[in-house]
Every structure is written in structure tokens, then in C-alpha cells.
Chain A
Amino acid sequence: MTAFVAKRLLAAIPVLFGLSVIVFLMIALIPGDAATAILGSFATPENVARLNADLGLDRSLPEQYGLWISGVLRGDLGQSFTLNRPVLDEVGQRFGATLILAGAALVLSSIIGLLAGIVSAARQFGWADRAITLAVLVGISVPSFWLGLILILAFAVAWPVFPPSGMVAIYGGGGPLDVAHHLVLPAVTLAVVASGVIARLTRTAMLEVLRQDFVRTARAKGLSERHVLFGHAFRAALVSVIPVIGIQAGFVLGGAVYVETVFQWPGIGAMLVEAIAKRDVLLVQGGVLVVAASYVLFNLAADLAQALLDPRLA
């Protein structure tokens, strides 16, 4: 098992390295540059050239990349041009916020998705199944930024039980309870689509398992239906659902971009959008690197969980 984990982690290194080269080249290739973004209306060729020199952007691309990567190896991700602060500080803080949001959304969507999938499968073609299928369809189809705004209007403006945006109250806030309170609306918004996907796949997996012999045997033994469903069928179905949850983790990280923007959640998605618009190449690099690394880790965790559930895969 240790060898398996080590191998997977080593394999991630070339992936991250390649990704950093691609991101670097992409930012260099798209028109526009950081100096133009910073200067805005005043981006005369003369001012742009002067500022690019100040920012070190007048160097050749390989030289710029070389400087960056040698910094990374020393644990220094550079300085953001647009925020005038170390990339590591910004990315670290932002990623922490995203992890809270994405983590909460993932837990929420797993619980809702798994339960809905099980109920749906157990009552195949019954009213509960139809209702859940419809809800799943709606959940998958609703754009998250729209749903976010509707939730804000309903639960922050019309019936003000939750704050509309932010991560902590700007006056007198800051505790874990305060963060949790701010977390509810964005986490629910983000969880909706992922719940739908998980529910669909759980239903399919459960239906498949419920038709198998060992389930019939369990029923024949006289076990209660609840015991059959949760003790036997669900455990078997989970093996094929776990990787999907791993993929949803990536999806939730990606979907966080919109949700973070609508709810002003200070996460890494909203940061990346802004950084790309401003051509803040080091901030983009740092952000992408962290997101990609966490994606690799999530999938590894999902694989490990799967292996634990099904020894044949280990």
C-alpha cells in the first residue's frame, strides 16, 4: 500500500511540472500583459515598457520560467504583481477558504446524493423515485450562479436568516460558528449539482447490486429490508460510487469559481479569475499548482478508499 501511494505521488510530479509549463505558455500567448492591466487607460507603449521592466517581464520567457521554478524549489512562489503580496500568502489563505467551502459542499452532496440514490433504488418506479429523479434533473440543470442569487434573495434579503456574502461578519465576527453561518448558502448552492450526479450514480449502482444473488440470499435469510439495503447492497454499491465522489471533488473545486464570485467567498476560484484577467502570471501559476495538486490528492484518496472497501483492487 505504501509503495502504491509513493508511486502515485511521484507520478504527480511530472504532471504538475508539465502543467506549470503549459499555464506559463498560455498566459504568455494570450494577448495583453500585466502592465497593461495595471496601467489601464494609461498603458502607453512607453509606460508599459517601463513597468514591464520594473516587474521583470522584459526578460525572455525561458529566463522568466527559470527564475520562477528555481523559486518554487526553494518554496518561494514569487510576488503577485497586482496584489503586491507574496503569492504563497495569498494562495494559502484563498485555498484554505476554498477547502472549507468545497469540503462542506462535498460532504453535503455525498450525504444527500447517497441517501437519495438509495431511496430511489429501493423504491424503483415508485413516487419517491420519480420525485427524486425529477429533483436530480432540476439540480443538475440549474446554473449555480443563478441558484446562488435566488438563495441570497430568499434567505438573506426576503427572509434574512443567513448573511448574503463573505466568510465572516465584518463587524464582531470571526469565530467558527460565524464562518459556518456564512458557509450555509454557498455550500448548499455548490452541493446541488454534485448531489444530483452522486444520486444518479448511486441509484444505478444500487439497482445493479440489488439484482445480484447475494442480495436474494440475504433476503431469503429473513434479514430486514433496511439491513439488506444498508448492510449488504450499499456497501457493495459504494465501491463504484467512491471514484465518482473523487471526481465530484474536482468538480466542486472547479464549480467553486462561480459560487465564490456570487457569494464573495474569498476562495481560490474567484482569485484565479481575477488573476487571469489581470495577467498576473505568478498568481495564476501558484493557484493552478495548488488546485492541481489537491485534485491529484483527492483522486488518490478516492482510490485508496475504494481499495479499502474492495480488497480485490488493492
Chain B
Amino acid sequence: MRRRTVLQGFAATAAFIALPRLGLAQIPPGVLAVGQIAEPQSLDPHVATATNDFRIAVNLYDGLVRFRSGTLEVEPALATQWTISPDGLAYRFTLREGVAFHDGSPFDAAAVVFNFDRMLKDDHPFHDTGPFPLSFFFSTVESVTAVDPRTVEFRLKEPFAPFLSNLAYPTGLIVSPAGVEAAGKEFGRAPSGTGPFRFGEWQANQRVVIARNEAYWDGAPALEAVIFRPVADANTRTAEMLSGGLDLMVEVPADSIPLFRDDPSFVLQEAPGPHVWFLILNTREGPFADKRVRQAVNYAVNKTAIVDSLLQGTASVADGPIPRAFGFANDGSTEPYPYDPERAKALLAEAGVTSATLRFLVPQGGSGMLEPVAMATAIQADLAAVGLTAAIETFEWNTYLSTVNPGLVGKGDMAAMAWMTNDPDTLPFLTLRADALPENGGFNSGYYTNPEVDALLDEARRTTDQAERGRLYEEVQRLVHDDAPWLFVANWKQTTASTAAVQGFKPEPSFLLPLKGVSKA
């Protein structure tokens, strides 16, 4: 009796395990399952702020322009060409003909005007479908006018060279006015664009499904559908890859890199990102007021060991405030500070600082912060080797931002920070100018000022010639590298893992995930 009960129990368990094997490695060819890092906030690209959401949005929508694959350079998309007035104040776009939104409404100049007016004008009838947190990307726009159905003109308040990059960023994607009018505030959950995929369904906290747009103006994509799954825990995301629950994952955690690299059934790829991980040094008070001490810590830290060992190659060594991902603005002529503890000691001796205790502020995690505490600990050890004691204080991310952003005076000597941007202008403009000091409402928390850098950055904003702009940024890079207001540490790479069945996929330096050219056998 008793034994039979046990046997029955086993049989029932076995049947239970064997029955619903649906869903275990059974996603058919043509359907791609992508592991995302979080549940999206919104599929309205003007409301969303996270790269995680934009990875879906770039497949549902097009912008007037977009980043050319593999670069951060701008190429035509919904606009076929454009002209910039000599004073840099008027941008005139010619729009692609015969394009329709997924809901059937036509794409034209009026639609473009609707998109920007909705974001920028408080009295627009659909401004209340926001808020639009990143609309300040277009704060220099004075007006958007439909010259004729195929021509739209943007007038700027002042010359602003990053304008085209900002249009290529997902905040510049074009949504369907008819879609917004129909769905109102719910548009973020019922999106309609012109992109290669149309919206399928969104099951909260389970999946977002998008399906092939057969009528796509640039040719229909190879994939039939894409399923985006939020898997917040990086280890769980890896386990899902290994068990066949996902075909592609982004932001592969450093610890899982060897696992995918050594297994021929997976393809590990990387693209350098427009990201910088650095320590803000307090140049206003304490030992870092002396440039030699700032240079000394740049020599003292073994950045190569951090990116290769600790981060398992998911980042490269940063050479200055402008990442190499911006090819036109960083030709690699400014080399990173080499690891040279002897040089560091000599500089410290010269500055009369043979031992000092530094207050080192570090967040426990946060957007783009990689492994902040482990990295800080490695830096602490390198600094100890040259006689500097770093006392680490850790913070929760949101608390950290509200501590560090108002400036380091009275709080710390150095603070870890990371930025990801879409134009070489953004980071230095918001963090390294006199006008960006915390008292002026910017992010220059370490109080670095150099009139020459300020002038170069202003000039670069006014210069619409890309090559000339690039030269100006290279000059900024050289000056800031030498002044060393930061300890330059790492540039994060977009690291992806996919199964061998996934073809035609390349990670983008923008960290976005355009899937039009991807297929799955």
C-alpha cells in the first residue's frame, strides 16, 4: 500500500515534468527571443528615458535620421536629405515619399510638426500625453514648420551642432499622430510608428511582442516576430540563455563572459560604447586642487587590470572625457595614462603629498556604473601602493546622485561616475565647463574650469562642419587629459551573446538594438 502510494507519486511527478515541456527551447525559427534588463517603462519614445525601452522603440519607429550601423554617425532615414543654413540656425529636411504608419495614416511634414510640438509646446492639445523627460534634447528648437507635405524646417534659437545626433537618438523617433490621438496617455502601451516591426502585444512583466511590418519602406525584415523578455537578474538571464529560453541577450555580465566565449553554440560580440566611467576629483579643495596629484592618481591606477580582469574585457581603458566610440571626435591621438606607480610617487613627492587620506564616494550600483564597488576597491588598493589612503563610502544610487550632483565640497575628494551619451558634446558640455558648475545648475561636481576648454566647446557647438567639429573635440580631449580633472578609468562595451542560430546580428555602439537585418535559422 505504502510503496504503491510512493510509486504513484513518482509517476505523477514524472508525468508533470514531461508534459508541459512546451516553452523549453521551443521557440520556432523566425521568432527571436531577446533578454532585456528590465520591464519597459513606455513604448512611447518621447516618454521613455531608458536604453532598455529604446531597444524596442528603434524597431517600431524610425527617426528623420539614424545612426549608421556600427557607428555614431548620422545617415538618412525618414528624411532622404537635408540642408543646413550657413548660420547654422535652419535645418530643412526632405521627407521620404509613400511611407505610412502602422495604423495606416500617412507620414508627412504635418506628422513631424505634431511630434515636436507635442513634446515642446505646453499648449499643444496632446502635451498632456507626457511628461517628456528628455525633450530638453530639443530645447534649442524655436519652431518646426511644414513647408509643404514633403518638406519640414526646424529653426533653432542658437547654432547647435549636436542637433542631428539628437534627432538620431530615440527621443527623435517619429510617432503616429493618429495613434496618439486615438490612444491618448495609453499610447505608450499601444504604439504606432513607421518601423520595420509593428506592435503585437505587451503582457506586463512577461513579454513585449513585435511582428514583421510587411510594408516597411526599406524592405520587410527577415524575422517574423521578436519577443522581448524582461529578466532583471543577470545570472538568471545567463541561465535562460543556457537553457534555450532566449536567443539573444544584451549586457552580458562580466562573470558570464568565459562561459559564452568557450561554448561554440554561442556567439559573443562587442562594440565600444559612447560611455565613460571615471572618478570626479575635487579640484576646489584638498589634495586634488594640485594638478600633479590629479595626474599622479591617473598614473597610479592599473586601468588595464580593471577592464581585463575585473570586467572580463567588457570595457576598454578610457583615454579622456570623449570616448573612442565617437570616431570623428577621437582619433586615438591622446593615449590613456599608462600604469606607472613610480611616476605617480615622483609626482606626489613633487607636490609635497607623501601620504593623504581621501574620501572616496561610490554608489552600490546604478545606470552604466558597471561593478562600482569592486572597481573602487581595486582603485583603493592601487592608491595605497603609492601611499594614498582612500576611505570608501557607499551609497544607494538615487541617494548618491543627489549627494554628488550638487558638488563635492565638504563631502569627498573623489566620486565614481558614469555617463552614456549620443554626441561628443554632451558629457564635456554638461560636466567640464565653468557654466556647468553646480552653482550654475550643471554637473561639474569637481569644479574644473579651463577658459580654453570652455571656448573650444562653445565653438564646437557652432560648427556644423563635422571634420572641423571633430578637430575641436580632439583639442578638448588633449587639454582635459593633461589637466586631469578626473581619473579616467573605462569605456564600457556593448556586449551581447546570441545563439549560433542567430544570423546577421551586430551590437551597435549606440547600445540600441536594431533587428531589421537579423534572421534566425
Contact = CB atoms under 8 A, between A and B. Distances in A.
Q: Do A and B bind each other?
A: yes
B240 interface: yes
A224 to B, nearest CB: 15
B22 A173 contact: yes
Contacts of A171: 23, 26-28, 31, 33, 227
Contact of B188 (A31, A84, A181): A84
B398 A279 contact: yes
Contacts of B185: 84
B245 A165 contact: yes
B91 interface: no
Contacts of A47: 133, 136
A156 to B, nearest CB: 5
A228 interface: no
Contact of A165 (B38, B189, B231): B231
Interface string A165-181: 11111111101011011
A266 B204 CA distance: 9
A114 B507 CA distance: 53
A63 B85 CA distance: 50
Nearest to B419: A41
Contacts of B401: 32, 36, 43
Contacts of B434: none
Contacts of A152: 235-236, 239
Contacts of A274: 38, 232
Contacts of B17: 161-162
B377 interface: no
A292 B244 CA distance: 38
A266 B205 contact: yes
B243 A160 contact: yes
A84 B398 contact: no
A54 B130 contact: yes
Given A169-B22, A171-B31, A261-B233, A45 B441 contact: yes
Interface string A39-65: 111111111001100110000000000
B49 interface: yes
Nearest to A44: B441
B396 interface: yes
A10 to B, nearest CB: 34
Contacts of B212: none
B430 interface: yes
Contact of B443 (A30, A44, A170): A44
Nearest to A45: B441
Nearest to A94: B205
Interface string B185-225: 10011000000000000001111000000000000000000
Instruction: List 7 A-B pairs, minimum CB-CB distance, nearest first.
Output: A169-B23, A32-B398, A266-B205, A54-B131, A164-B239, A31-B399, A181-B20
Interface of A: 30-33, 35-47, 50-51, 54-55, 82-85, 89-90, 93-94, 97, 149, 152-153, 156-157, 160-173, 175, 177-178, 180-181, 261-264, 266, 270, 274, 277-279
13 contacts: A32-B399, A41-B368, A41-B419, A51-B131, A93-B205, A152-B236, A157-B239, A164-B240, A165-B231, A171-B23, A178-B23, A180-B16, A274-B232
